[in-house]
Structure 1
Amino acid sequence: MFKTRRKKRRYLYYFIFIFVVVILFYSFSKFEVFEKEEPIIHASNTVFTNPNEDLNIKITDESSGISNISIILKLDSNDSGVTISKQSINKEKELNIRLKLSEILPKNSGKYYVLRVEAKDSSYWNFLRGNIATKDIVIVLDSKKPLVNVISHSPYIEKGGAAAVVFRARDDNLAEVYIEDNEGRKFIAKKYLKDSFYAALIAWDPRKKDFSANVVAKDKAKNITKERIKFIVQDRQYRISNIALKDSFLDGKIKSLTQQYSPEGSDFNRLESFKFINETLRNSNEKLIHELSSKIPENELKNFKLSPFLPLKNSAKVADFADHRFYSYENEAVSNSHHLGLDLASVAQAPIISSNEGSVVFAGENGIYGLNILIYHGFGLYSLYGHCTNSYVQLHDEVKKGDEIATTGISGLALGDHLHFGILVQGIETRPEQWQDRKWLQTHIHQVLDNGSKYILGR
């Protein structure tokens, strides 16, 4: 009986010991020394690169920190590999490794390699061995640049004008295709009719002095090809206007718009109000227009035909496109702006007609533009209508050629009843007169696309 009692007591001690160990182990596991999270190796499973590029690998461990890393280079997944880097780390939370591929890769060898990256943390978990993360990164070498050739393009582009381009870009690992001008602005190019063929509308901002453009193709290995589009580039002089501000204008339209749009608590004098409307509000309104009109929602271009844009019947031009206006008050310079549209007038509240089918992307109040409508016609082309009195369309409406979309008016920064009409290409205002000219449309847009189509389809 005594032995039985001692035996039971021994089991009780064992149980208490094990219980205490479990409690202590669980408690310690809450601390970094026994954390169970593996380090994270931030790298893609497959990396396309060329031998001249460096490969960057980031390793993080936010808990116990990194204790050591090793990197093994393998000719393929079955190769045992060669260790190219082995480091002991003093509990770093983040480690950035840069590998010079030109130094570590064998000369005149294959196109594919495997880098095995192994990272161990400083935890005492896993019977003091810590947590280990392993990742195999497939390295695909590619030093061949994409092939690019321009197939057709508009014969010339003028300052403030637009042009069309059709081209081909080929590469097994093609990543990005676009057109870039001398200012670094990128124009989106869309697939045209067949794989590897692209088309785009581009534009020369009337406020920029020079223009040139290249087709740019990049592959996944960061090889780049640039092919110049050989336009004839035509400069164009736009009007410069010097306008003396009158008190009646400042105390009328400007004051009214300031009360409507200025921040609460503002106490602007006459000239401050004008600068707010002509600069701050104008920039905000144009930013919205540019953001909306920079998008090309369709994935590819198939058919693109336009009729001349003639939104207002029997109208007369009352203000020029790209007019650079300098404002003064009592013979002192105050502000300046560019008038990036064409002002047309006929009779009060005249019907505004959509000359081409499209989709409404904006219909509402927009500061100096008043009641403003923006319609997308495809291929990155938008038409704009400002200062309207009434709008007969809403956001996302589909309009047809000949539909009445609005009436002219004096909303926004308009003194007399008229239509502010604009045409934008990928967020850049262009000369509306071009888009009103049937011959220009045929030569610079339709014929360019038709010539590209014949080449691509072999007709």
Structure 2
Amino acid sequence: MPSLYLKKSYEMSLAVSDKGTGLRKIVVSILQKDNEKVLLEREYSPSSIASLFSDKRVNKDSFIIPVESRKYGMNDGEAVIRIMVADYSWRGWNSGNVFYVEKKVIIDTKPPRVKVLSSNHNIERGGSGLVIYQLFEENVKSGIMVGDNFFPGHPGMFDNKAVYAAFFALDYTQGPGTQMFVTAQDLAGNSVKGGFHHYIRDKKFKTDTLNISDRFLEFKMPDFDLDEIEDSFANSQNPLLAKFLYINRTLREKNVTTILDVPKDTVGEQLWEGKFGRLAGSATRSHWADHRIYKHKGKEIDRAVHLGVDLASTANAKIRAANGGRVIMAKAVGIFGNSVIIDHGFGLASLYSHLSEITVNKGDALSKGDVIGMTGLTGLAGGDHLHFSMIVHNTFVNPVEWWDATWIKNNVTSKIEAVKLMVK
């Protein structure tokens, strides 16, 4: 059966069957007012009366039927698909059983229209951006494509519900030359994409060397219970090191996927205001997107990229919400240890990891500065600290931008205020 919406180039899949006397005739047509176009007409004629009871009868068939409504003189709007199937039954003076069905459809051949309202889209490798645009059709899936990654747009930032806001990001691998555009697709599958003026600044990241000592392995590896996988390390030359490498590679990848799936639970409401806070009185122990080289007894054993900022003050220091929002995760996640994720609206989220204690629950509404837990060394942490990350939809971004009031004004709030004046 066809879908509800028929786009400009549409193909309808049809499968018919009759387990008894076999197929006699199939007719498929599309009707709009007094205009009817036959799309398919197929008759199955038995070679003889005897063949009614032979294996030569056709009991099933399938078709791919092109539906090009504009060529038939039909306009966008409601139409009807008619399907008639008859078999070779003796019923009805040998006219057979007749199956007849009509389905209402909507012809929609025009792609949605999008107008970008924001300007000055300057973004850095690993940084965040905001595009504000207007749609002129309802029920449209829209957002920003960055390379192969889709960042959905959301209504709710403005009184005009046709105006959407989409926070987007470049990950640490994406620099100048990365393709970015607005995209929209309606229910019929018609789609459109359009560019917007932007400038991408490149950025280099530090390289750090982390020496993994046997003392660290003896201290940290017992914290990770890997169930049946534990046995696979027993025959290794250094079982604790083999376990560390599994955790740092395979478990890290799984845990990152878990974390980045959470911010999809977002609301179309800006829950934050002003610059984001950082751990009070803290020193930066590791920067965002540091490229880490892990060594054991002077030999390189692994590499990874650190997608947060490590902040250290005193042990078990109070951790406060960096800005207003709602708790969308509060639990332990592998290498991240005890972690909290706060949704700030429109797909923007903050992550707090390695906590010794979590003092909030999923669903809690928070104001900036509310205590959410204490620093610690749960997960793959060698010392008491806070691992802090900012996330846009499904991408880790540089938190330093969100700690900077000037950056926020130039790249976020000034755009919002300018568009508010445009769409009054």
Is the TM value for this pair above 0.5?
yes
* Shift in Å, 1:317: 0.5
Specify the alignment match of 1:413 in structure 2. 380
For residues 317 and 84 of structure 1, do their structure 2 counterparts lie closer, same or farther at Cα, with a shift above 3 Å needed?
A: same
- Give the whole-Å Cα distance in 1 for the aligned partners of 2:271 and 2:300: 46
Query: Percent same amino acid at aligned positions?
Result: 26
For residues 368 and 149 of structure 1, do their structure 2 counterparts lie closer, same or farther at Cα, with a shift above 3 Å needed?
A: same
Specify the alignment match of 1:76 in structure 2. 32
* Shift in Å, 1:345: 0.8
- Give the whole-Å Cα distance in 2 for the aligned partners of 1:329 and 1:62: 70
- Give the whole-Å Cα distance in 2 for the aligned partners of 1:264 and 1:123: 63
For the residue of structure 1 that corresponds to 2:44, the secondary structure is: strand
- Give the whole-Å Cα distance in 1 for the aligned partners of 2:251 and 2:74: 61
Q: Which string of whole-angstrom CA distances, capped at 9 and with x for unpartnered residues, describes residues 281-310 of structure 1?
A: 1112111111111333x3x44x55423222
Specify the alignment match of 2:52 in structure 1. none
Specify the alignment match of 1:286 in structure 2. 256
| Mapped contact 2:330–2:360 kept (Cα < 8 A) | yes
- Give the whole-Å Cα distance in 2 for the aligned partners of 1:309 and 1:82: 63
| Aligned counterpart in structure 1 of residue 281 of structure 2, from 294, 314, 317 | 314
Please list every run of 5 or more consecutive structure 1 residues that lacks an aligned counterpart in the other structure.
Answer: 1-41
For the residue of structure 1 that corresponds to 2:171, the secondary structure is: coil
1:86 and 2:42 are equivalent in the alignment:
yes
Specify the alignment match of 1:276 in structure 2. 246
1:428 and 2:392 are equivalent in the alignment:
no
Q: Superposed, which structure 2 residues align to 1:214-293 within 5 Å?
A: 214-253=181-220, 255-258=221-224, 260-263=225-228, 266-268=231-233, 269-293=239-263
* Shift in Å, 1:424: 0.7
Specify the alignment match of 1:190 in structure 2. 154
| Aligned counterpart in structure 1 of residue 265 of structure 2, from 288, 292, 295 | 295
* Shift in Å, 1:407: 0.8
* Shift in Å, 1:83: 6.9
| Mapped contact 2:353–2:386 kept (Cα < 8 A) | yes
| Mapped contact 2:22–2:58 kept (Cα < 8 A) | yes
For residues 101 and 251 of structure 1, do their structure 2 counterparts lie closer, same or farther at Cα, with a shift above 3 Å needed?
A: same
Specify the alignment match of 1:22 in structure 2. none
Structure 2 counterpart of 1:275, which letter?
Answer: L
- Give the whole-Å Cα distance in 1 for the aligned partners of 2:297 and 2:260: 34
What TM-score results when the alignment is normalised by the length of structure 2? 0.85
Q: Which string of whole-angstrom CA distances, capped at 9 and with x for unpartnered residues, describes residues 200-235 of structure 1?
A: 111111133553321112234433221112211111
For the residue of structure 2 that corresponds to 1:283, the secondary structure is: helix
Specify the alignment match of 1:165 in structure 2. 131
Please list every run of 5 or more consecutive structure 2 residues that lacks an aligned counterpart in the other structure.
Answer: 46-56, 234-238
- Give the whole-Å Cα distance in 2 for the aligned partners of 1:47 and 1:391: 49
* Shift in Å, 1:136: 2.5
* Shift in Å, 1:244: 3.7
1:201 and 2:167 are equivalent in the alignment:
yes
Count residues in correspondence: 404
| Aligned counterpart in structure 1 of residue 2 of structure 2, from 33, 43, 50 | 43
| Mapped contact 2:118–2:133 kept (Cα < 8 A) | yes
Q: Which string of whole-angstrom CA distances, capped at 9 and with x for unpartnered residues, describes residues 261-289 of structure 1?
A: 35355241233212111012111211111
Q: Superposed, which structure 2 residues align to 1:358-397 within 5 Å?
A: 358-397=325-364
| Mapped contact 1:372–1:386 kept (Cα < 8 A) | yes
Specify the alignment match of 1:175 in structure 2. 140
For the residue of structure 1 that corresponds to 2:117, the secondary structure is: strand
Structure 2 counterpart of 1:71, which letter?
Answer: V
Q: Considering only aligned residues, what root-mean-square deviation do their CA atoms show, in Å?
A: 2.8
Q: Which string of whole-angstrom CA distances, capped at 9 and with x for unpartnered residues, describes residues 97-117 of structure 1?
A: 222334x87555544654321
Q: Superposed, which structure 2 residues align to 1:1-40 within 5 Å?
A: none
**Greater C-alpha Rg:** 1
Specify the alignment match of 1:31 in structure 2. none
For the residue of structure 1 that corresponds to 2:118, the secondary structure is: strand
- Give the whole-Å Cα distance in 1 for the aligned partners of 2:251 and 2:90: 61
